Structure 1
């Protein structure tokens, strides 16, 4: 665990090259090629993180300006995924959960219960935060640990099932996404898609990046679309013209650069994946395997980025008008794009359906986040997170605790307490 903690502390950009270098060696890619592939993945992650940070650093203040402009004073604060990640990695059940994940994944692969080899260790925090919340409810180490182990096993199975749809829509192969926070909204996307396809008129509404580009020419290009969306957000934030234009240009830059950086990352990933596929076919004939990855690989899709940007004002308006809501969208507003990464394949990149799904997701997040805030706050205290004195409750929008998974986790914990 000391080794694992040290590697995780270095961040994904350092951790992933190490993992892929080791994986390359295991699958007999050779030291030189393994090192190159690992470094390429690392460079890709650095590039992706730089662009994402560019986007978040510019959208974050704009989102907060919109919140302040509307004078929203809600008692449960969205503290963002970085704080949520720290809560997860700081929970007392962390060591047992992480070791359990590695063992569970290995056993399921050997017993043919999953095709997914999950190397996305950095995002274990999403599961860990759920476990930390259950622990806050029950104070029971083993119930919280086993509960998260079960969720992890289920997620691996769902990742197998969803992989063909994702691979087809994103033109990827050999990859799955056991990402609990994104996967949580895939069933909702399937439901929204089914309902809208049965409503005359609405079923013909279809907006995606390619159709917008085809219809509007240069004005439908990602760079122009990003500029327009950034400018709209700047105006809603009451920015000065110069500041709004600066925001618009930075958003446009992210729309163009993010897919290119993801392309670099995929170059290294594909090298290792091909070697792994070749060797695994020798070891396990007639079997298929997927490498489990982060949804950061998917948010470079223009439809995902554009829809995520549009969800920012939607989230603020919903928080303002929903009766009984106590949760203030804040730190994670700029990260709403991640909610849509695993929605996209099931609505065929239709931005209209993505926005509907995203809006419903936010309604659920706000109500669940309001309800479970005391337990999330307690989990932060247990993980030794120092919160500002004026925080009466916390949650976060892009993890799993503020979705239906978090609600089930809290209710399961309460039921355990009654037994």
Structure 2
């Protein structure tokens, strides 16, 4: 009897998977919403909104690859610049992530880890930003896709979760000091990941007087920027440039420019539907968590979107964006053609700005090194990402010659390191990764914390 019940359950589960992401997403999100106490009508509406958002992103992505795919191929043939991995944007990667058959498992694992770490007082970050769980989950999905091992996939997502919550704790003082946001941490991998490179590089630059004493100000840079920072204009200019390099006639160049401008406007709107659908889930998760952890010192983990409007962040990003495009052409080993994620460069540099306390010259140097890592890691993992996209029903209409990439997923250095450890001789590399994480954890929680307490005591004595 139980065997028959199990078979019926598995057949039903397989049927849902075979229906595709647009059907599977509403069902998964409805179940998650019910667990957090939402009414079934609200939970189902949230799930259906996500399904519609995914369908919209599929349409925009198909439109983009249809238009830019042939142009990119022609550009490669004429210029001999081998950029065959199109940056389709983090929103498309998020859609791919939420469409994975193991996404429900990974979301519950990430949430459970946050709760366990809070119970053990190993973190002070209460991550209510359910939407951005996709940054952690995609690593597990890619590991699972490569290894076909669910345990390795779940393990990779779990390591990403632990790293993210701890990095949120460690970086919280910077968020409070520079952005004036007390009690808030930012467990958004797309912002935190840059610190893996930025922290040691900032220490090195501090040893060089030119960078440490630089007075190059935000006002000096802002006078040259502004109009060209608009995503609509950015898409137009990139489309025109690619069309010209592809050897198109004027009519087709203009058509490509307007098409790419439309893509950079439409992708955020479709992505916004994802956030709209997950908002009730996030709010109910926050209420549930606050009931369970009364009387505790907690940092509320929010989306890094709350800081990217800072003038220092925006100015740094607008300088980095054109330099990123130029770097993509000349960087050895790069295959990524930057496009959709140029609009979210502010996320990649936001924590860098806080770390350097707004030193613009250091921001630019560190930002370019971070960008180079995004291009290299994105190039290395683009074949896997492309295969996963096809497996969840996103069909690339470019004759199969174009890969997809992004400045999200495993293009980010933190995500790439975990992905690499879980896919390259995991028996050896996973223990090494865990030992390194334990060492960093000990340093920031014990050594640095003790040093900070000593400095605070000395400062108090001097003041008294």
Tell whether the structures are fold-level matches, with TM greater than 0.5.
Answer: yes
Return 5+ residue gaps in structure 1 as ranges.
Answer: 24-59, 251-271
385-394 or 348-357, which deviates more = 385-394
Q: Secondary structure at the match of 1:300?
A: coil
Residues in 2 aligned to 1:7 and 1:305: alpha-carbon distance in whole angstroms: 38
The structure-2 alpha-carbon separation of the partners of 1:283 and 1:76, relative to structure 1 and needing over 3 Å to count, comes to closer
Q: How much does 1:225 deviate?
A: 4.7
Distance 1:399 1:301, change over 3 A: farther
After TM superposition, the structure 1 = structure 2 runs for residues 180-199 of structure 1, keeping only pairs within 5 Å, are 180-199=189-208
1:176 counterpart = 2:185: yes
- Partner of residue 121 from structure 2, selected from 112, 131, 141: 112
Please give the per-residue CA displacement for 1:33-72, whole angstroms capped at 9, x wherever unaligned: xxxxxxxxxxxxxxxxxxxxxxxxxxx9xxx8x9879965
Preserved contact between residue 78 and residue 328 of structure 1 (Cα < 8 Å): yes
Q: Are the counterparts in 1 of residues 217 and 360 from structure 2 also a CA contact under 8 Å?
A: yes
**CA distance in 2: counterparts of 1:282 and 1:87, whole angstroms:** 33
Aligned-partner SS, 1:283? coil
What's 1:82 paired with? 91
- Cα shift at 1:119: 0.8
Correspondence 1:330-409 to 2 at 5 A: 330-388=339-397, 389-409=399-419
Larger Rg: 2
Corresponding residue number in structure 2 for 1:226: 226
SS of the residue corresponding to residue 74 of structure 1 reads coil
Query: Take 2:400 and 2:324, find their aligned partners in 1: how far apart are those partners?
Result: 23
Structure 1 position 228, deviation (Å): 7.0
CA contact (8 A) 1:158 1:178 kept: yes
Measured after TM superposition, the shift of residue 94 of structure 1 is: 0.6
Partner of 2:103: 94
1:191 is paired with a residue of what secondary structure?
Answer: helix
Structure 1 residue 324: Cα displacement: 2.2
Name stretches of at least 5 consecutive residues in structure 2 with no aligned partner.
1-12, 17-22, 39-63, 242-249, 262-282, 430-464
Deviations 1:332-379 (A, max 9, x none): 122212111222211112222111111111111111122122222222
Which residue of 2 is the match for residue 410 of structure 1? 420
Question: Does the 8 A contact of 1:129 with 1:401 survive in 2?
Answer: no
Structure-2 residue corresponding to 1:317 = 326
> Number of residues paired by the alignment?
345
Contact 1:159–1:177, Cα closer than 8 Å, also in 2: yes
Q: CA deviation at 1:315?
A: 1.1
Q: Cα gap change, 1:171/1:392 in structure 2, threshold over 3 Å: closer, same or farther?
A: same
Corresponding residue of 1:164: 173
CA distance in 2, matches of 1:386, 1:236: 24
Alpha-carbon distance change, 116 to 390 in structure 1, aligned in 2, over 3 angstroms: same
The C-alpha deviation readout for 1:112-156, integer Å capped at 9, x for no partner, is: 121111111111111121112111220111210122112202211
Q: CA 1:237 to 1:326, structure 2 compared with 1: closer, same or farther past 3 Å?
A: closer
Q: Relative CO higher for 1 or 2, CA cutoff 8 Å, sep ≥ 6?
A: 1
2:160: which partner in 1? 151
Question: Aligned partners of 1:187, 1:418: CA distance in 2, in Å?
Answer: 22
The residue number in structure 1 matching 2:294 is 283
**Alignment TM-score, normalising by the size of structure 1:** 0.68
Question: What are the equivalent positions in structure 2 for 1:58-77 lying under 5 Å apart?
Answer: 73-77=82-86
Cα shift readout 1:154-201 (whole Å, capped 9, x = no counterpart) = 211121111111111100011111111211111322223222221132
Structure 1 residue matching 2:140: 3-state secondary structure: helix
In 2: Cα distance, 1:135 partner to 1:196 partner: 39
- Residue-by-residue CA offset, 1:307-336 (whole Å, 9 max, x unaligned): 112222111111111122222112212221
